[in-house]
Amino acid sequence: MPVTDVDKNPDALTMTITAEFEADADRLWQLWADPRQLERWWGPPTHPSTFVEHELTPGARTTYFMTGPDGEKHHGQWRIEEVDPPHRLHIADDEVDDEGKPADGGPTGMTVTIAEAEGKATMSVQTHFADRESMEQTIEMGFEQGMIETLDKIDPLLGAARA
């Protein structure tokens, strides 16, 4: 199990996951930099991803989509904000609708840091959300229908308790 730490903070709206790999930092960086490698791990096997545009250059735009079992497409778009190979990468997540057009919703982002020591690379990915709404969209973008349905039941249940 390469994951060494998980830090979830519902107040700061962040989740940071850290993992250690038997590889050097350059090799790990390639997993992010090369769109053909990125699409091998970004989407789950049920929803393979295709990166249409992707280049790790500040200001560049990444466009990709994931294809579901019924052929439905989920589009995503990133804005590459900071690039310091092979150590640091900051990506802003631009919300887009199912046709890939810009949509409302707070932008979220992720910061990737990669460090190397004694032939091992440690990667940390921090995902941060602009607000609770965009954080909760993560649930809706998940693929477990049962989970979404159950969560939808929580709110009416706790209706009176909501701030």
Partner 1 sequence: MVAIGQGIRTVPFVLTYNQMVVDKKPIRDEEKATDLLFRALADPIRRDILRRAHEGQLSVSALAREHPISVTAMQKHVAVLERAELVSKHRVGRESIVQTQTGALVRARAALDRLEADWRDRIERMEQILETDKGAT
Footprint on this chain of partner 1 (rule: CB under 8 A): 1-13, 15, 17, 19, 21-23, 27-28, 31, 37, 40-42, 44, 123, 125, 127, 132, 135-136, 138-139, 142, 147, 150-151, 153-155, 157-163
Tokens of 155: 């709110």
- The smaller minimum CB distance to partner 1, of residues 22 and 118, is found at 22
- The smaller minimum CB distance to partner 1, of residues 48 and 100, is found at 48
Cα–Cα distances (Å) from 26 to 51, 98, 122, in that order, read 21, 34, 12
- The smaller minimum CB distance to partner 1, of residues 1 and 71, is found at 1
Q: Smallest distance from the beta carbon of 159 to partner 1, in angstroms?
A: 7
Q: Smallest distance from the beta carbon of 59 to partner 1, in angstroms?
A: 25
- Per-residue b/e over 51-69, b at no fewer than 16 CB within 10 Å? beebebeeeeebbbbbeee
Q: What is the dihedral of CA 115, 117, 120, 123, to 10 degrees?
A: -20
